Chain A
Amino acid sequence: MGHRGAGAQGEAGMKTTTVLLAAAVVAVASAAVTAADAPLTARQQRGEKVFDVKCLPCHGPGMWGTNALARRMPRDRAELARRTDLNAVMVKTLMRTGIGSMPPIRKTEVTDADADAIADYLTRNSKP
């Protein structure tokens, strides 16, 4: 994400990016496929562990984030850990920008290395 200068204008620019990414999430989601779970790599295992602690309270079955996504797509695709159509760059970017009512996640909460691991875990079943 490029440096866009300070203040309200820069932050408004960020919002536009978020909206575009949101549109991309919905567009990609419409092409979901099913895939059997392969064994997790070490980094994906790390990603799963961090995801379960940091993300699952909202993105677990029947939780707030899952319900919010289910308003925009079929419920069976609303649980992030079961998705087969996510993109790693998008996952990591949305963690940092926030989307909808989801607040941004700071580096002090989830480090860049752990954010990469979460993205790797969530995209393990996605087609490149």
Chain B
Amino acid sequence: MATPALLPPGVSAADFQQALKEFAGVVGADWVLTSEEDRHTYLDAFAPGDAATHACSAAVAPTTAEEVQAIVRIANRHRIPLWPVSTGRNLAYGGSAPVVRGSVVLDLKRMNRVLEVNNELGYALVEPGVNFFDLFEALQAKGGKLWISTPAPGWGSVIGNALEHGVGYTPYGVNANSICGMEVVLANGEVVRTGMGGVNPGGKEWQVFKYGYGPVWDLMFTQSNFGVVTKMGIWLLPEPEAVANFSITLPGMGDLAAMVDTLRPLRLDDTINAPYTIMNPYRAIMDPMSAQGKTRSTIYTKPGCMPLDFVEKTLQAQGVGMWSVGFNLFDSDKGLDLREARIREAFDKVPGAVIKTMRWHRGEPLAGWMRVSPVLFPLAGVDWYGGPGGHINYAPVVAPIGSRITDIYESIYKRYVEYGFDCYCGFLNIGPRAIVVNPCTFFNREDAEMTRRARELARVLYKDGAAQGFGDYRAHISFMDDVADMYGFNNHAARRLGERVKDALDPNGILAPGKQGLWGTAARARRGKPA
């Protein structure tokens, strides 16, 4: 094996060579990837800055939980930080790149088996390398009786998405809510099965009841670095009789509060039984253009945020209202009629509301608007400024109260004008009582000045959000400490609790140091300076 080009922090070349040799003994030399070409494939493809800041020293790619156990034990002996990725496709959050430069990526993509699809009970048991396309195919092969709750880009891992609190557009919504039973390799190499999977020998009801006996551990392994999830049960939606799509627009720039306040009771009483997404006027212009491969320069060439009057005129010319919301309802045809009547009754009271609907019935081919079959085209927006592009999302969680949503949106909009970016913003309803206000800063990666501005905008938004009483629910690897800083109550009591757990489970700090701002004692000196 050639001399390593980059070493994990604090590890000698000789120790690293020895660790790589031992990894190769577990997975075979072909699956310990150290060449420059291979390491390049693990760089963050949408890096908001120099991707080399988060370069890995190597990757190791096991195919079984037993191999993961062996790798974790070797990493402990040699103090090698491991960065587990499932499919490594969480672009805009770091892709397959680690927080700490020089970490070894534990690439679980080859663990790609759908272990069980159970049509009778509505669940699947999967490995981390299974993406939404793979699971969709596996479900179709068994008659398409169960539906996935696919997020915007379908190449993400089913496990990874659930662990990162990702959201789909069926009634199952936040995918972490659908987790039932995990197999986890702990930092000491021990395997744990959660919930009913703990029954010995061979708990039969692992995927049907979450709570088992005693403390419930599943959510502890989400957005954390306490273990490597090697199997997960996920509940899936039985195919409904019918689906209705709603697209509702309101005409005026000042109609955001009316939109939010009209939707709230409908979502709270489950008339609207799946997440909705509100789009601001910028997004209403940009999404359809991006889907057709059109970039900003075809409509506007000046720098800065496109002015509101231009945005308003553009949408008026298209006959589109300033604020729009889209969502799907899942029910029988008769049930959908009742739901639709209540939605129409509510929006009839809002001046200028325009409602468009479509329906699908069981037996018809799946349509794109149903968002049941995975796609990738939402990523096209990254080329808004011409590309090669990337994007950074600000994602504070805010209650669906019209005045509150409007206040934070206006403060975000001012920052986008100040920093000179088009204020593309969605409002993703992640449950009856919460919206992720989700502006997205697109930037050209090869434009250093624009990339720097995008980074600075993200950091100022995190500070604004915390001062206003809001916190983000996810973060790119470059901003994990920044977002952790939003949660500073009682001198960061929550983070200190997390780090006590980290120290107990992973005293050498080998699993994903810095993930979600959790470093542990072994790596704490690197907080705030992951490179």
Chain A residues within 8 Å of B, Cβ to Cβ = 1, 3-8, 10-11, 14, 53, 57-58, 63-64, 66-68, 70-71, 96-109
Contact = CB atoms under 8 A, between A and B. Distances in A.
A53 B136 CA distance: 12
Contacts of B155: 57
A106 B42 contact: yes
Contact of B55 (A11, A67, A70, A103): A11
B528 to A, nearest CB: 21
B376 A10 contact: no
Contacts of B5: 3, 5-7, 10
Interface in B77-130: 87-89, 91, 95-96, 107, 109-110, 129
A11 B52 contact: yes
Given A7-B6, A107-B33, A64 B52 contact: no
Contacts of B6: 6-7
Task: Indicate the size class of the contact surface on chain B.
Answer: 35 or more
Nearest to A93: B37
Nearest to B57: A6
B133 A70 contact: no
B61 A101 contact: no
A6 B89 CA distance: 24
Given A64-B376, A67-B293, A106 B107 contact: yes
Contacts of A70: 293
Interface string B35-61: 111101111011000111001000101
Given A104-B40, A106-B42, A68 B154 contact: no
Interface string B383-405: 10001111000000000000000
Q: For chain B, what secondary structure do more than half of its interface residues adopt (helix, strand, loop), or is it mixed?
A: loop
Given A4-B36, A11-B43, A106-B109, 14 more contacts: A1-B37, A5-B5, A14-B40, A57-B155, A64-B379, A64-B380, A68-B383, A71-B293, A104-B41, A106-B38, A106-B107, A107-B33, A108-B31, A109-B87
8 contacts: A6-B5, A11-B55, A98-B41, A99-B388, A104-B40, A105-B41, A106-B107, A109-B88
- List the 6 shortest-distance A-B pairs measured between CB atoms, nearest first: A67-B293, A103-B45, A6-B5, A108-B109, A104-B41, A64-B380
A53 B55 CA distance: 28
Contacts of B389: 101
B377 interface: yes
B109 A67 contact: no
Given A7-B6, A106-B107, A96 B380 contact: no
Q: Which of A53, A66, A96, A108 has the most CB of B within 10 A?
A: A108
Contacts of B383: 68, 100-101
B163 interface: no
B90 to A, nearest CB: 11
Contact of A106 (B55, B88, B154, B295): B88
Interface in B1-58: 2, 5-6, 31, 33, 35-38, 40-43, 45-46, 50-52, 55
Nearest to B37: A1
A105 to B, nearest CB: 7
A14 B386 CA distance: 21
Contacts of A5: 5, 36
A63 B41 contact: no
Contacts of A7: 5-6, 52, 55
Nearest to A69: B293
A67 B40 contact: no
B110 A63 contact: no
B212 to A, nearest CB: 33
Contacts of B43: 11, 104
A106 B380 CA distance: 21
Given A3-B2, A10-B5, A101-B382, A63 B109 contact: no
